[in-house]
Structure 1
């Protein structure tokens, strides 16, 4: 079914609001290139809008009532926000859920080595990437190093204009005959994604030394710089979390500035628009909840992934503060909730039309995308939303004049993908996948339409208010 291009429907006032949301979104993308940075940004924004730390409410012996706003953080990598509504929690919540981890390259725990007077950091890629896309790009290093005394050192190198950047090297085309005969998935192997970090050897102190060269002198030079700048020893890498991401800021894309090109839009485009929607709503009947979660790209596993009990435990705490402890009421609250599992969708790309089924594809500027089901091939691993819930969603979107579309991820046998929807559906709640159409998904630089970013923000607000 043909949907109207949203750009054709905007008034001057709406175009101004669209640019405001786009600018705010780009700023958040630049501030949050890792899941830890996203949590910090989300908490900062939430506190500015009157949210309190749930731990502090519990510690102070406080309670929660309609209008209160709280957040809870898990291991600095996931965050949940609640805006308490008038209705009892057991009647359910309206939940927005998105993930804040993105495909990248991680630094190993014993990473620094020297090879022929070049210093490298050994790496292991994270999530589904085309490894050949990550070579010969300016790369930045983000993360934390935690020393034995508990001191945390924040690392961000490569983002400022005066910073150095890093690179993963590739073979020159003049010698790449055999390399170019390989299949794309092995033309660059995982073990060759090591990060080039230095080439200058450390000189010996002695002026009269005939041979100023020293064993692993380049590595020693890097270690000396790390010690001088960050007070880091080599062993501190054991307790570090360092992520390699594309260096540079998000940018407007296209002569008409209608698009955004940036790293990590899967799935921060849904995460930040969900966050904005939470901040811009008031006087709610049902409690609104926003989940920004880690580890979706590798199966939602671990303590900070959606499979953990963090969400369930946090709802139990909120329930106890608002209505008293009750296991039965907690189960009712979870089952009676409604959720948008907000994750990106593949935008139709006419350059690769052969893998799309056009009638069931998501298009740029056609609005928020809903996926009744995801999974792969025979809907394997899918949450499949029921028709009654889809009708409610349509009504809510139409009530607030939100542009939206329904789509699938490519042709039936072309591949597929999953989200956190099926995990939340285990509680018996209504869940549907929704999100923003993205070109070049999982590439170092992804592209979205500003119109779709704006419609996602509007759609998430509509969901919170109307469901």
Structure 2
């Protein structure tokens, strides 16, 4: 079971280099399990026991399994995660030709650790919008092969490199793609048109725009002397998306269940498809159009906001509160912050701890040091919009926001087990 889940996660990460691809990967799994798309532009026809999903911007998705019990009686069991990760995104007019090299200008998306992006074999993926036969269409592309690199400056020319230096995103991050002759010009959009033709057989009249990200071509892997760890890109937060998906597909019972995987969490979630936008509330109100029924349902519901937690790094243990240092492979972490950076309260934490104990899943707690700032999640945002009770949890990881993160190889199975129990639970507190 554990090995199967870990390999499934590795395959999911490989297929999901961008939020667009992650959403497409989730759709593939959901449709194979009998979930049917609901188009936001059309009238919806749903029924008790039905399985549905809704997407927005091709990068956010909500999957719904409607129970046979009325939701105002049993409530909704919601699991929330996000599809985006910090990365380098290509600018609209990116072509740079300097010292005989073709480079692309990039913009840093989210709070990325920048140093690990150097000396990596990078590829490019995302969404391209183009004109075809007078119509505007979009398609996902993924070059897959290594086609760019950001070389470090040699230690001989930067003697203080190991003492730390501020990386200038404008000057130091443009990846190198090729060498070019002095009078040779390269049209990046023409390269994208060629990729559309090669990957999809589309002969676009013109590439109009794009949302493209560089990513590391080194695949995720189980690593360590005893296979204790999973190393890979975008574990924050595709790890939680995948766990939520597996739990939803494995859940038993007749309760109403929802999986919410939204884009733009790494930049604040304020967008049409982000957690700070209207997507989730609009979706739930269409399923529960009666105002009183909607409020009653929400007040009987619970959201598990799943986003990675900071594990205790053996080289930096002093960065944690001594009594609240989550260990890798020791189970999911309940995240608590009295200033509401996490939405956990004693009742929701108690219920999640109860679920873990009942299902023999180890559970931990995290509170940030009192002299350090605290990150946040979609939990407080969704709780603030819907008024739904929320617990913030996540699996402990190292190197969060690096191009390659590290998690425990036992923890995915722990999280899937407890989330499956949550989706299958008959009574909520």
TM over 0.5: yes
Shift of residue 417, structure 1, vs aligned partner: 0.4
Given candidates 118, 125, 128, the residue that maps to 2:101 is: 118
Q: Given the alignment of the two structures, is residue 346 of structure 1 paired with residue 310 of structure 2, yes or no?
A: yes
- Equivalent residue runs for 1:250-265 within 5 Å: 250-265=220-235
Q: Does 1:84 align with 2:54?
A: no
433, 436, 456: which one aligns with 2:392:
433
- 8 A Cα contact 1:223 1:233, kept in partner: no
Is the radius of gyration larger for structure 1 or structure 2? 1
- What is the deviation of 1:258? 1.9
Residue 424 (structure 1) aligns with: 382
- The structure with the greater share of residues assigned to helix is 1
Question: 1:306-455 residue pairs with structure 2 within 5 A?
Answer: 306-319=275-288, 325-373=289-337, 379-409=338-368, 411-426=369-384, 427-455=386-414
> In the TM superposition, what whole-angstrom CA distance separates every residue of 1:165-198 from its partner, at most 9, and x where no partner exists?
31113211111136666x54x2343442112111
1:45 aligns with 29
1:132 equivalent to 2:115? Answer yes
Does structure 1 conserve the Cα–Cα contact (< 8 Å) formed by 2:251 and 2:421? no
For 1:105, which of 80, 84, 88 is the aligned residue?
88
The 1:164/1:368 distance shift into structure 2, 3 A limit, reads closer
1:151 is the counterpart of 2:137: yes
Alignment correspondent of 1:219: 186
Q: CA deviation at 1:235?
A: 7.4
Structure 1 gap ranges (5+): 1-16, 202-212, 320-324, 374-378
Question: How far apart in 2 are the matches of 1:418 and 1:64?
Answer: 36
TM-score if structure 2 supplies the norm length? 0.91
Per-residue CA deviations over 1:93-151 (Å, capped at 9, x if unaligned) read: 01000011001000011111212221111100111112222111111101121113323
Query: In the superposition, relative to structure 1, how do residues 225 and 354 fare at CA in structure 2: closer, same or farther (>3 Å)?
Result: same
Distance 1:128 1:235, change over 3 A: farther
* C-alpha deviation, 1:28, in angstroms: 0.7
Given the superposition, is the C-alpha separation of residues 326 and 246 from structure 1 closer, same or farther in structure 2, using an over 3 Å criterion? Answer: same
Partner of 2:217: 247
Shift of 1:452: 0.8
SS in 2 for 1:279: helix
> Retained in 2: the 8 A contact 1:368–1:436?
yes
SS of the residue corresponding to residue 150 of structure 1 reads strand
Are 2:34 and 1:34 aligned?
A: no
Distance change (3 Å), C-alpha of 1:187 and 1:280 = same
Work out the number of aligned pairs and report it: 416
1:10 corresponding residue in structure 2:
none
Q: Which residue of structure 1 lines up, in the alignment, with residue 200 of structure 2? A: none
1:173 aligned to 144, 152, 155, which one?
155
The Cα shift of 1:57 comes to 12
Quickly say closer, same or farther: Cα 1:151–1:86, change in 2 above 3 A.
closer
Stretches of structure 2 that go unaligned for 5 or more consecutive residues are: 198-202
Quote the offset at 1:83 in angstroms.
Answer: 0.9
Change (3 A) 1:243 1:137: same
SS at match of 1:130: coil
- TM (norm. structure 1) is 0.84
Find the aligned partners of 2:263 and 2:190 in 1 and give their Cα distance: 34
Deviations 1:363-416 (A, max 9, x none): 01111111133xxxxx5452343322322222222222222111224x222332
Per-residue deviation, residues 21-62 of structure 1 (Å, max 9, x unmatched): 111111111111211111111111011111111239964x63
The alignment yields a C-alpha RMSD, in angstroms, of 2.3
Q: 1:223 Cα shift?
A: 6.5
Matched, 1:197 2:181: no
Distance 1:106 1:362, change over 3 A: same
Query: Which has the larger displacement, 290-299 or 331-340?
Result: 331-340
Match of 2:167 in 1: 187
Q: CA separation of 1:95/1:130 partners in 2, compared to 1, >3 Å: closer, same or farther?
A: same
Matched residue, 2:3: 19
Matches of 2:346 and 2:394, distance apart in 1: 19
The answer to which of 251-260 and 170-179 deviates more is: 170-179
